[in-house]
Amino acid sequence: MRTPNPPEADVPTTPPAIPDLPPPVPRPTRGEAEAAVRTLLRWACDDPMREGLLDTPARVVRSYEEFFAGYATDPVALLERSFAEVEGYDEIVLLRNIRLESYCEHHMVPIIGTAHVAYLPAGRVVGISKLARVVEAYAKRLQIQEKLTAQIANTIDAVLRPRGVAVVLESAHQCMTTRGVHQPGVTMVTSRMLGAFRDDANTRRELLALIRGGAA
């Protein structure tokens, strides 16, 4: 006669602990940042002590505060206030031609273009300026365009919970136009479609017609 199997031990439901992550690298001081710019000026074979370049390190550091201001902005917080008084409106909300200024994380040169952001409300809408601010919050960081497109769409989808989200970016990359292959006039287009914009061809077609400025 076989001995019955012992009862299975309770399986712990607590997820495994996440290993401790290394602490973030301390942010350099303003003086250290300016010293780094002087080093780059010397690397470019110029004299950071000549009259025309004396104030350049300070100017560059101030510019970086503006170029990369997105690191200090929480895109989720921008979308947390929404409005329910929409009289049942549930059609496409599209903000076209948002100016896009980002920075290539491989060469730290500008990415300039436009963003088109759309969603299908599910009972609530958000102030349209918030859509542009979400674009800016992610764009004002070191980026690649594919990741930037996904970040914008995923955040809008996660916070607003609409029936669909669409983001289309069109931009020129100076890492390609002013160096390397030197191809001015080339535009890169990326898109991310979620919900109805991905699943319903007619809804997607209507959106793309609206982006082009025509009727579906």
Q: Which residues are catalytic?
A: 104-107, 145, 173, 175
Helices (H), 46-165: 56-67, 75-79, 128-139, 145-160
- Nearest to residue 144, comparing CAs of 104, 181, 111, 87? 104
Q: What is the DSSP-derived secondary structure letter of residue 87?
A: T
DSSP secondary structure string for all residues of 13-69: -SPPPPPPPPPPPPPPPHHHHHHHHHHHHHHTT--TTSGGGTTHHHHHHHHHHHHTG
- Nearest to residue 170, comparing CAs of 205, 201, 208? 208
